[in-house]
Structure 1
Amino acid sequence: MNGLFARLAPLLALAALIGLWEVLVRACDIPPAQIPAPSLIAKTLIDNGPQLLAATAITLREALLALALAAAGGLALALVFAWSPWLEKTFLPLAIALQVTPLIAIAPLLLIYLEPPTAVLACAFLVAFFPILSNASAGLKATDRGLIELFRLKGASRGTILLLLRLPSALPQIFTGLRIGGGLALIGAVAAELAAGAAGNSEGLAFRIVEAGYRLKIPMMYAAVALLCLCGVALYGALAGLGHMVLRRWRDEPETEA
């Protein structure tokens, strides 16, 4: 019973928060142009479903593609850094510089030189890349030294140790980086779409937010933001579930009583 309540607690808290929101808006007679009620937001979602879902599909596709590229590039570069510490000292400062540069400053520049879809993809890739790289590098460095020495005693080469010992040992932190990178890829895609949408060159969900803001369609803005939240939660949940499936061997199994 306690386990079931623990699983339902987040949903119950969310339902209570939405109910309180609805009651306060109605009780205080707040106009929809200021704060729309959840029921009005839900109605807006239903009435504009095809348009919003099409925009959501564009944004989510951009974020997923950027995440896939960031995962492949970040993991590959982390393996290169683990193979050659000299290369890590050489190129890691550049990766850090790209990470700490504000995305809102990069997006308009990329839109000058790239087509809007490519610029959005590049922005999402840049913000998702470094967390994956840093977590993968930390995981590769954290391999037990005793196991490394054991592999060496058995005659294993550097490549064998890297691929058969250090890489599997780093999987928990790699998946941590993927969960962080997934959320950041969505944020990067939305931020780039906002910049592109301000110039009238985007079709994603963030562009719908900009468009609704220009037309003072506040319920539409809330509906688009709600879809973005759902996409973020779904993406995080999917990555967490994938990590749980892959890392079940790393988790302690409950002991069975005789």
Structure 2
Amino acid sequence: MSRDRAVRTILPTLAFVVALFLWEAIVRINDIPPVILPAPSLIAKTLVKDWGTLFRSLEVTLSITFEALIAATVGGALLALLFAQWRPLEYTFFPFTVILQVTPVVAIAPLLLVYLSPGTAVLVVAFLVAFFPILANTSLGLSSVDHNLLDLFQMYRASSWRQLLWLRIPAALPYFLGGLRIGGGLALIGAIVAEIAAGSAGQGAGLAFRIVESGYRLNIPRMFAALVLISITGVAIFLLTTSLSYFMLRRWHDSARSRDL
């Protein structure tokens, strides 16, 4: 078991190192100028040199992402609970959430900038793209209850709130955590897209704004350095939400227990 875990860790790391080595070799052998494709070593140097500027931008992006994710998590979970308890409410408002989800966020962001301040608009866009997966997954989990258990609760005349607390919520937890993993990545994507839209209007100071600014100045190494920080942030969010899911489900749900095998 431990050997299998080691293999699953070593192989991706080895592949990543080999890819970086090949990238570095191709740039050096072909003498590709940094304005076309910077080498990984130059990107690392730029990351260190411009760390003060990039770190401040990273703080802005992280703040927006996590504020949007927290709001989407609370709002999506609470609305899903209301939908589960009162079906007419779901029939009435769920189509509106679908419309918001299928509308391209690139089209929404400039419109929101007309009505809201740039900071608020970026937060709203990140919230909207993270909200639907959490709402949809949690609603699916609340309705995906074992009918035999539901019949047992009804046989003992358990109230709807007791059914919700002791049966539906535990059944929905894996679905909710799955939606949270999706929503975490989408919150970052929404923040980046909205930051680019705000940056084009001369507003914003997040990592996406630094990418646009670097492109205008042909500072391609800094652009890649900002992209590296965005990628690291996305991976960190995924690992955080995956770890949360594992620790909450490992003692009883097969999706988490299978990882220990």
How big is the alpha-carbon RMSD for the aligned residues of Structure 1 and Structure 2?
1.1
Segments of 5+ residues of structure 1 without an aligned counterpart are none
Q: Percent identity?
A: 53
Match of 2:19 in 1: 17
Distance in structure 2 (CA, Å) of the matches to 1:160 and 1:249: 23
Distance in structure 1 (CA, Å) of the matches to 2:138 and 2:185: 17
**Residues 1:62 and 2:64 aligned together:** yes
Match of 2:95 in 1: 93
Query: Which residue of 147, 150, 166 corresponds with 2:149?
Result: 147
Distance in structure 2 (CA, Å) of the matches to 1:3 and 1:158: 43
Match of 1:7 in 2: 9
Distance in structure 2 (CA, Å) of the matches to 1:2 and 1:101: 43
Query: Which residue of 208, 211, 226 corresponds with 1:209?
Result: 211
Matches within 5 A, 1:1-258: 1-251=3-253
Deviations 1:105-155 (Å, cap 9, x if unpaired)?
110111111111111100000000000001001111111111111111222
Letter in 1 for 2:164: L
Larger mean Cα displacement after TM superposition, 158-167 or 121-130: 158-167
Segments of 5+ residues of structure 2 without an aligned counterpart are none
Q: TM-score, normalised by structure 2?
A: 0.95
Larger mean Cα displacement after TM superposition, 148-157 or 30-39: 148-157
Deviation at 1:2, TM superposition (A): 4.0
Distance in structure 2 (CA, Å) of the matches to 1:6 and 1:229: 20
Equivalences, count: 254
Letter in 2 for 1:131: P
Distance in structure 1 (CA, Å) of the matches to 2:16 and 2:116: 41
Distance in structure 2 (CA, Å) of the matches to 1:149 and 1:40: 64
Letter in 2 for 1:224: A
SS at match of 1:250: coil
Larger mean Cα displacement after TM superposition, 76-85 or 229-238: 76-85
Distance in structure 2 (CA, Å) of the matches to 1:169 and 1:119: 35
Deviation at 1:192, TM superposition (A): 0.3
Q: TM-score, normalised by structure 1?
A: 0.96
